[in-house]
Amino acid sequence: IQSKFPDLGLTIFSRMSALAAETGAINLSQGFPDFACDASLLEGVTAAMREGHNQYAPMPGLPALRQAIAAKMAAAGGLEVDADHEITVCAGATQALYTAIATVLRSGDEAIILEPAYDSYAPAIVAQGAVPVRISLAAPDFAVDWAAVAAAVSGRTRLIIVNNPNNPATSVFSQADLAALAEIAERHDLLVLSDEVYEHLVFDGRRHASVLSHPQLRTRSFAVYSFGKTFHATGWKVGYCVAAPALTAEFRKLHQYLVFSVSTPMQHALAAHLRQAGHWQGLAAFYQAKRDRLAMGLRAAGFELLPSAATYFQLADYSRIRPDLGELAFAEWLTREHGVASIPVSAFYADGRNNKLVRFCFAKKAETLDAAIERLGRLT
Ligand code: PMP
Ligand code: GLN
């Protein structure tokens, strides 16, 4: 076959996790917890299966789950969302993102993405025959230069994709960011796709500001979420997309042919779990403690740390340790020679720039973090 995607290789997450497995390294690369999800979730799945919920769920998602999502969004974020016409349950955030991108973009359209960018956005844009237009954000704070975003808008621009909180930058939007985004979207009649999978993993008392909370953005945005992040179950691959009724109707036209519907017993279990009030409330403190634990060890090992305001990632500058190595080479060296796997931040930039930064995932048991810290302690 003549490849339609000659430039696409294996994702950095598959690559580094495979290297970690091959070398027996502690895997702080790909983002996933190494601890169990809540036992009641697991019981919910088996109960649903035994009760006979083993056939197709309704195309947009189980009504009970969509209602539970709407109730949670009201309780956690004060958002009013119509469960019937604004929520679609998807096979993880990845499918929701792809579906939104394919729903909006035609061949020749442009979509603005902010780099560092999560790795699934650009390929999904290119697969539509559309063009990613990249704005790069710089360490240490990765603030968005909204004037640069406005200047990148052309007559072909249809969509702006944002990731808030940002993987891997760990930055979060302020109300001023939302206002600036809304102003550009309104002025040029653009749609917005907001990847908010880390909505509950925001630290140091800050709060997540969703595009759905902004009146202008509310009507022109798709917001995407994942139960993998909030319920420590990345392997379940269940997420959802929230968008105004007109956008959701278009989204579902494609959703029904991409996946039709998502695993029925998982949806039953998630609906029951969501109804337990406040499950998200302890998440930030839980992960903040892990962040601080890893940070102490990384600093002692000689890394210089960037602030980690959100997500379950920590960016670390290794200039003092191996200034001679590029990011991928450093991540491979650390995995092979010191038994700790990380992700080179260059993987999130199309130009593969070298800022001497790697990303560590701290969604791990205390003993895993401590074992990694012990290994890193022998670095210098
Ligand atoms: N967006 C971002 C920013 C992510 O970090 C991830 C995965 N960690 C996803 C989307 C994909 O989520 P899912 O596993 O639910 O497809
Ligand atoms: N989002 C996860 C990360 O950033 C990885 C998901 C994946 O492997 N596709 O590490």
Residue with CA nearest ligand 2 atom 2? 31
Q: Any idea which ligand is nearest the CA of 29?
A: 2
Q: pLDDT tens digits for 286-313?
A: 999 999 999 999 999 999 999 999 999 9
Residue closest to 270 by CA, chosen among 68, 28, 75: 68
Q: Where are the beta strands (DSSP E) in the chain?
A: 26-27, 87-90, 110-115, 131-136, 157-163, 191-195, 221-226, 239-243, 304-305, 313-317, 340-341, 343-344, 357-361
Q: The complex's ipTM?
A: 0.98
Residue 330: per-residue pLDDT: 98
CA–CA distances in Å: residue 207 to residues 4, 63, 307? 42, 29, 16
Ligand 1 and 92: CB distance under 6 A: yes
Residue closest to 192 by CA, chosen among 288, 260, 121: 121
Q: Any idea which ligand is nearest the CA of 310?
A: 1
Ligand 2 and 221: CB distance under 6 A: no
Q: How many whole angstroms from 83 Cα to the centroid of ligand 2? A: 28
Is the backbone peptide bond immediately before 140 cis, with ω within 30 degrees of 0?
Answer: yes
**Closest atom of ligand 2 to CA, residue 13:** 8
Residue 279: per-residue pLDDT: 80
Q: Any idea which ligand is nearest the CA of 362?
A: 2
Ligand 2 and 13: CB distance under 6 A: yes
CB 290 within 8 A of CB 363: yes
Residue closest to 148 by CA, chosen among 195, 115, 107, 106: 115
Residue closest to 71 by CA, chosen among 358, 250, 274: 274
Q: Where are the domains of the chain?
A: 12-30+282-376, 39-274
CB 303 within 8 A of CB 316: yes
Ligand 1 and 116: CB distance under 6 A: no
Q: How many whole angstroms from 51 Cα to the centroid of ligand 2? A: 33
Q: Could you say which of 3.30.1950.10, 3.90.45.10, 3.40.50.2300, 3.90.1150.10 is the CATH number of the domain covering 12-30+282-376?
A: 3.90.1150.10
The DSSP output letter for 212 is G
Dihedrals phi, psi of 239, to nearest 5 degrees: -145, -165
- Amino acid letter for position 112: I
Residue 277: per-residue pLDDT: 67
Tell me whether residue 305 is exposed, middle or buried, using C-beta atoms within 10 angstroms of its C-beta: 0 to 12, 13 to 18, 19 or more: middle
Q: How many whole angstroms from 154 Cα to the centroid of ligand 2? A: 31
**Closest atom of ligand 2 to CA, residue 167:** 4
* For ligand 2, mutation pick of 8, 12, 13 (most atoms within 8 Å of CB): 13
Q: Could you say which of 3.30.70.2860, 1.20.1260.10, 3.40.640.10, 3.40.50.620 is the CATH number of the domain covering 39-274?
A: 3.40.640.10
What distance in Å separates the CA atoms of residue 246 and residue 44, rounded to the nearest whole number?
Answer: 33
CB 193 within 8 A of CB 161: yes
3-state secondary structure of 256: helix
Residue with CA nearest ligand 2 atom 3? 31
Residue closest to 316 by CA, chosen among 349, 280, 281, 344: 344
Q: How many whole angstroms from 89 Cα to the centroid of ligand 1? A: 15
* For ligand 1, mutation pick of 11, 90, 94 (most atoms within 8 Å of CB): 94
Ligand 1 and 11: CB distance under 6 A: no
Residue 380: per-residue pLDDT: 75
What distance in Å separates the CA atoms of residue 179 and residue 213, rounded to the nearest whole number?
Answer: 11
Q: How many CB atoms lie within 10 A of CB 285?
A: 9
pTM, to two decimals: 0.98
Dihedrals phi, psi of 40, to nearest 5 degrees: -70, -25
* For ligand 1, mutation pick of 95, 164, 193, 229 (most atoms within 8 Å of CB): 229
List the Cα angle 338/339/345 in 5-degree steps: 90
Ligand 2 and 30: CB distance under 6 A: yes
Q: pLDDT tens digits for 43-69?
A: 999 999 999 999 999 999 999 999 999
CB 116 within 8 A of CB 166: yes
As given in the structure block, the two tokens for residue 104 are 């909006």
Q: Any idea which ligand is nearest the CA of 167?
A: 1
Residue closest to 211 by CA, chosen among 191, 229, 230: 191
Q: How many whole angstroms from 119 Cα to the centroid of ligand 1? A: 9
Beta partners for residue 313, in sequence order = 361
Tell the residue number behind the tokens 């955030």, with chain if given. 93
Ranges in the chain, pLDDT < 70: 277
